[in-house]
Every structure is written in structure tokens, then in C-alpha cells.
Structure 1
Amino acid sequence: MSGAGGATTARQVIGAGDIPVDTPRVPAREAAETELSKPMYHENDPNFLQRALNEFWDWVAGVFDAAAGAAPGGPAGLVVLVLLVIGLAAALWWRLGTPQRSSRPAADALFESDGPRSAAQHRAAAEAHAAALRWTEAVQERMRAVVRSLEERSLLDPRPGRTADEAAAEAGRALPDHATRLRSAARDFDDVTYGGRAAGQPTYLALRTLDTELDEAKPVLPGASRGAAG
């Protein structure tokens, strides 16, 4: 009797509602999604920008991990490669500057196309730019004064389209004692004119001194020794 009574009690308890309700899966999932979509569950969720940044940095980390696996020496080797690339890029930028022109003009690379001017006119323009602290323009005009002066003294043949480098090389043969400084002046002219660099006062003063010395220098004539020219 006790056993039968116990079974009856158990059935009564079960019948009282303790059996879990077997809810279909689809409605249960929809009910859970509806419940979880309430704002109270998303108050601390990251915003759209934060989610985008998180995804971006996850992508960067994935790329870094893949590159580290392929690079010799693993992550340390990758860091060395990155530093080398940065160093090479910095060296190129320092040497070449920010390019402002894709190519040099087809003609009259040294002189502007506004008509020929004398060495004295170029010197006056250079001094005016220097007085206004426009050192880049001052250097350009002073280099033009140097070359025009050499042409006026017949040490260079007037030739349209001549570059500063060509003028320095040709003048250096007639004035060998100044050849190195002429090449340096031509490089400075190229740097500020085609390389996007800004000149400074020391560059201009050095070029002005060279112009003055060249104006007084005696050339080495073809077939004559340097001792005889001096």
C-alpha cells in the first residue's frame, strides 16, 4: 500500500504542473531574441565607430600575424624589416624632397622663358629676394647670374636649354679651382627648383661669394697649364 500510495503521490505532484513544458524550438528562439533585443541588455554595447575600430584592429593583427609567420625570424624579423623600409623611405625623402614637377621643362631648364637678362639683372633680382628673405628665389637668381656672367665673359657659349649641372661641368673645365663649388651650386639649384626643397641664408651667401670670386677668376685657356694661367 505504501508503494502504491507513493506512486499516487508522485503522479499527483507531477500532475500539479512540475513537468517542463515542451515548447517548440522556433517560437522559443524567437522569444529569446525578442527578449534580448530590449534596450536594457545593450546599454553597455560599443557604438558603431568602436565596433568598426575593433574590426579594423583585428584585421591588422591578422595581417601582422600572417606576416610574422612568413618573415625570417618571426615577429622580431618583421619588426626589423619594417624599420628598414621606414629608414629607406626617410632617406629617399631627405635626398629627393617632395617632388613638385614630374619632369623638367623641355627647353631653357636653367633660365626662365621671359626673355634673356644680363648677369647684373639676375644679381639685382637675387639681392631683392634675399632682402625679402626669399632664399629659394634668391639662390635661383644668383645661379642664373653666375652662368650668365660666364656667358658674357665667353667662358660659356650661350646655349638655350642648358641645365645648371651642364653649365657647372663646362665652367669647371675653364675654372678648375672652382669646379667643386660650381657642382655644389648646381646641386643646390636643382634641389630648390626641381626637388621641392627650401633654401636658406647660408646657401645663398655661399653662392654669392662664389659669384664674386668667379667674376675675378682667370680661366685656364686650352693648352695652357694652370701655373701659367695664374
Structure 2
Amino acid sequence: MLGTGGTTAAPLVRVSDDVPVDIPRVPAREAAERELSRPMYHENDPSLLQRALNRFWEWVDRLFNSVSGGAPGGALGLIVIVLVVAALVAALWWRLGKPQRTADTSDSLFDDRPRDASAHRAAAEKHAAAERWNQAVQERMRAVVRSLEERTLLDPRPGRTADEAAAEAGRPLPGHADELRAAARTFDDVTYGGRTADRQAYERLRELDLALERAKPLTADAAQGAAE
């Protein structure tokens, strides 16, 4: 077909809607992956933990099938596999332990057995002698707070937490406020956070207890002024 000036015009080709259009393989795969990655396709997918457990039990099931179907010694091999799985479960339980209770602001420092400071100190020393540092730390912190209550530096109040006691005691004893807060954190970590105390943690609490016994508190007016 000749155009103006004798030049040849390129033919116009119209692609019918019925003719399929080929898409290169790589762009097609990428488009499919983008589509399938949309959250709407994965709302009911199992969690990562559930998938791991499913894989584990599938592996155990394959082991049982292969061992029980083998000859000779299939039954013996099955017993061995059961014992191995039981040992793995026991090892995981021992390693992870029981779920720890999380800290709650309503957790009380004291239990339902009212004791004086000297009784808490004696219990702490007994635990320390047996190297039961968690219990020693707990009892020494209770001795600290009970002693402050006995000296009327703290008002006896049921349900008081270690953090509350440290904050309240820091006002008449500002020179030991930081140590009191650190002692409360140690108590919370051991009691609610699943941490393990050691000799040094207990010795710090013991030294704080002795130092507070010698400390002279501020007067009520001075403590109020310092708080303001």
C-alpha cells in the first residue's frame, strides 16, 4: 500500500480479542507469586508452631510405619522409638520448665503468714546457708520491708508490692532510694520473672538491710519537701 509521496505504509494489524496473548514465563511466575502472597489467601494458614508440630508428628508417624513394617525386630524397634520420643519430651520439659507466672501489680510482697522482721531474717539466713538463693532473696526483701513497718517508716498495708514499698520507703530514706528500687527489681525478677538469684544478689540485699537499720530517716516535713 502506497502512502503520500510514494512511500510504503506499514500494515495495520489488529489483534482479535479471541487470540491468546503469550506472557513470558518469568513475569507470569512473578505475577502469580504476588497474587498468592496476598493476605486473603493465608487467613486460615496454621501458625509456625503448628506447622513445626505437624512436621514432627509426620516424622514420628513415618518412623513408626517403617519400623513396624520391617522384619525382623519390628516390635523391638517400635519400642525403642517410643522410648526415644518420650526421652525427647522429658528433656524439653526439663529444659523449658513450667510456664512462669507473669508479674502483676496486685501481687503481694507477703503471704498470709504474718511474721516479724527477725523471723524473715532467720528464714533468709537458713536458705542462704543451704544456697537456696531465690528463697533467701525473697525472705530478705520481706525482712527489709517488715523492719521499715516496725520502725513506722512504712504504714503496714496488706497487698503492698515490692515496688510500692521501695518507692514509699525512698521518701524518708532518700540516700537508699536507688538501692531499694534495685532490691525490689531483684525480688520481682526472682519471684515472677523466672530469674535465678545468686550469692551476690543476696549479699547486696543483706547489706541493704543492715544499712537501713543504721540509717536515720528524714522527718515527715523534710520527706514531704523532698518529694515535692
Q: Which runs of 5+ in 1 are unaligned?
A: 1-65, 71-97, 226-230
Is 2:135 the counterpart of 1:145? no
Residue 162 (structure 2) aligns with = 164
How far off its partner does 1:223 sit? 2.1
1:102 Cα shift?
A: 4.3
Say which structure is richer in helix: 1
Determine if contact 2:133/2:198 at 8 Å carries over to the other structure.
yes
Aligned residue in 1 for 2:11: none
Q: Check whether the contact 1:172–1:179 (CA below 8 A) recurs between aligned residues.
A: yes
Give me the identity figure in percent.
Answer: 66
Q: Distance in 2 between matches of 1:212 and 1:111?
A: 20
What TM-score comes out, normalization by structure 1 length?
A: 0.53
Q: 2:195 aligns with which of 185, 197, 202?
A: 197
CA distance in 1, matches of 2:186, 2:99: 15
Match of 2:101 in 1: 101
Figure out how many residues of one structure are paired with residues of the other and give that number: 132
Give structure 2 stretches of 5+ with no counterpart: 1-32, 38-97, 224-228
Contact 1:169–1:179 (8 Å) recurs in 2: yes
Question: Match of 2:50?
Answer: none
What's the counterpart of residue 53 of structure 2?
A: none
1:99·1:194 contact (CA, 8 Å) conserved in 2? no
Would you say the 8 A contact 2:117–2:147 is kept in 1?
Answer: yes
Residue aligning to 2:111: 112
* CA spacing shift, 1:138–1:198, aligned 2, 3 Å: same
Instruction: Calculate the TM-score normalised by the size of structure 2.
Output: 0.53
Q: CA deviation at 1:112?
A: 1.3
Deviation, structure 1 residue 210: 0.3
Larger Rg: 1
2:217 corresponds to which residue?
219
Does residue 1:187 correspond to 2:180, yes or no? no
Counterpart of 2:184 in structure 1: which amino acid? A
In the superposition, relative to structure 1, how do residues 140 and 224 fare at CA in structure 2: closer, same or farther (>3 Å)? Answer: same
Q: What corresponds to 2:207 in structure 1?
A: 209
Q: Give the deviation of 1:99 after TM superposition.
A: 5.5
Structural RMSD (CA): 2.7
